[in-house]
Chains A and B, each alone.
Chain A
Amino acid sequence: MANESSMTTIFSDFQKYLNEEQEIREEIRVLVRDVEQTTREIHTQLQLVHQHGGIKQVQEYCEKAETSFATLREQFRKLAEVVPAGQYYRFHDHWKFSMQRCCFLSAFITYLQTEKLVTREETAAKLGVQVSRENGFHMDLDDFLIGVLQVASELSRLAVNAVTASDYSRPMRIAKFVAEMDAGYRLLNLKNDALRKRFDGLKYDLKKVEEIVYDLTIRGLKPSEDPPKE
């Protein structure tokens, strides 16, 4: 009977397939670990802005952090080589969280430097990945949006610390920025997924920042270039 041999081939073929997949996953895991290491370094560097007096040295910290992005680009390039073409989403789970973190870091740096919301193109360029899927290893839109949302929580913390450091104008600008972000995310029709869950947290950050603005305003601490309305 041909039966026996064909069945054996089917199963041994599948075993071969499983082994190959395991190997790729192993490789990816190692590379993702490197990426995580670098993001941790950048994150630590950026955390310094919260420290006393750190706010005045923002530009300096950002420049230092920027240098680590070169490492990140190199690491993503290596990762892109390992992932088979057209199978990005087969292994996506491995680097999803790292990618979100990278997007967060890039958005945070951009904010600290320019006080603007980072665009997808800028982030992709900073990480050395593609914007659209057709061009190769890219950045998933969901990951980008989730990463950017994390900036809001970081900024609400920064607003608190800015007040402590007697920088009263920054919270005002942060409030405006977070409000604009909120308006942007409101445009999206979100499904009940991870992005939606993250977005639901945005209102708390917004509220926190608005309360800081309120506290400053009723105490007359609002900076003079923006005189309180009568």
Chain B
Amino acid sequence: MFCVDDVKRSRKGEPKVPVNENSPVIKAFRVYQSELDARHDKHERLVKVSRDITIDSKRTIFLLQRVAGSDSECAVLEEASEKLKQIQNTKFSLIAKELQDEDPYRFIRAYSPGLQEYIEAVSFFNYIKCKELVSLDTIQQDLIFPENIDIGQTYDPKNQAEMVESQASSTAVNQSEQKGTIEVHVPPIEYMLGVADLTGELMRLAINSVGAGNLDIPFEVCTFLRKMQLGFQSFSYVSREVKKKLHTLNQSLQKVETACYTLQVRGSEIPKHMLVDVLSSPMREIHMYTDDQSMDE
């Protein structure tokens, strides 16, 4: 009893120490206080939005994975594109607003998980749609918003057209100087990390599509992954993060290559509906030379 009372008293006693509001030190610290609080609040808000983006992007990716089994590829793509646009307009516009007049690199840690997941979703969508790697430019274009945008308002459908058109154009990244727009700046390194995540999804797509009876997709994916691997390997200087992703990429590639091998050798011998089992189960045996790690990160 006594002890508890004592502790309580000392805790209560602390704020009782009078703070001399007139002292210059205290005045200065009041300023620092409000500045720190404002920054922490902004950080928290960004983390929240980023988390929502991650969830929504994951859902979009799951939706896109269903392409393998579904009859109408168009319908799925339509829905996915709708979802992605929704993420841009409801979530990223919020981030853009928060980051207005800020150094984009200051808060990058707060929203980078969401951004990467989103890039993964967009690039996956783009792969299924036109079998190409989405460019940084395209992604950046989608994340530029007019100033004073109303949150939730459906955004200009012109954006969609731009997405396909500006594919090839690779102008400078810095469009932020345009007057009257706010943007979520996408640092190239974030883009690359997002794109690296794509490989895991492609691997899954390749395996799943065999189940759906499409035996061409694994070979397509395989060629695509090889190119990506070549690209990633060519970088002279990379962060540890990229190296880790490259490792996963190699694993995904190996899985797809093994799958292609199996298809080539035994594809005609095995009834189609059993191929998936053949691909997913004995793969580990064929696979002995790879590290035995789980498929995802």
The chain A residues found within 8 Å of chain B, CB to CB, are 2-4, 6-11, 13-15, 17-19, 22, 86-90, 92, 116-117, 119-120, 133-134, 141-142, 145, 180-181, 183-185, 187-191
- A sample of 13 inter-chain contacts (CB < 8 A) reads A10-B136, A11-B232, A14-B191, A17-B188, A88-B106, A89-B103, A90-B105, A180-B23, A180-B26, A184-B29, A189-B37, A190-B36, A191-B40
Interface membership of B293, Cβ < 8 A: no
Distance in angstroms between the alpha carbons of A145 and B25 in the assembled complex: 13
Interface residues of B in 17-52 (CB under 8 A from A): 17, 19-20, 23-26, 28-30, 32-33, 35-37, 40
Minimum CB–CB distance from B139 to chain A (whole Å) comes to: 11
Q: Are A87 and B103 in contact (CB under 8 A)?
A: yes
From B127-135, B141-149, B243-251, give the one contacting chain A: B127-135
Distance in angstroms between the alpha carbons of A142 and B35 in the assembled complex: 10
Distance in angstroms between the alpha carbons of A15 and B25 in the assembled complex: 49
Chain A facing B: main interface SS: helix
Minimum CB–CB distance from A156 to chain B (whole Å) comes to: 18
Distance in angstroms between the alpha carbons of A183 and B23 in the assembled complex: 11
Kindly identify which residue among A10, A86, A145, A180 contacts B103, using a CB–CB cutoff of 8 Å: A86
Kindly identify which residue among A6, A134, A142, A184 contacts B133, using a CB–CB cutoff of 8 Å: A6
The chain B residues found within 8 Å of chain A, CB to CB, are 17, 19-20, 23-26, 28-30, 32-33, 35-37, 40, 101, 103-106, 108, 131-133, 135-136, 167-168, 170, 187-188, 191-192, 224, 227-228, 230-232, 234-238
Distance in angstroms between the alpha carbons of A211 and B195 in the assembled complex: 59
Looking across the interface, which residue of chain B has its beta carbon closest to that of A193? Answer: B40
Q: Are A187 and B26 in contact (CB under 8 A)?
A: yes
Asked, given contacts A7-B133, A7-B228, A188-B36, whether A183 binds B168 with beta carbons under 8 Å apart, the answer is no
Distance in angstroms between the alpha carbons of A14 and B103 in the assembled complex: 21
CB-defined contacts of A17 to chain B, threshold 8 Å? 188
Minimum CB–CB distance from B232 to chain A (whole Å) comes to: 8
Minimum CB–CB distance from A228 to chain B (whole Å) comes to: 22
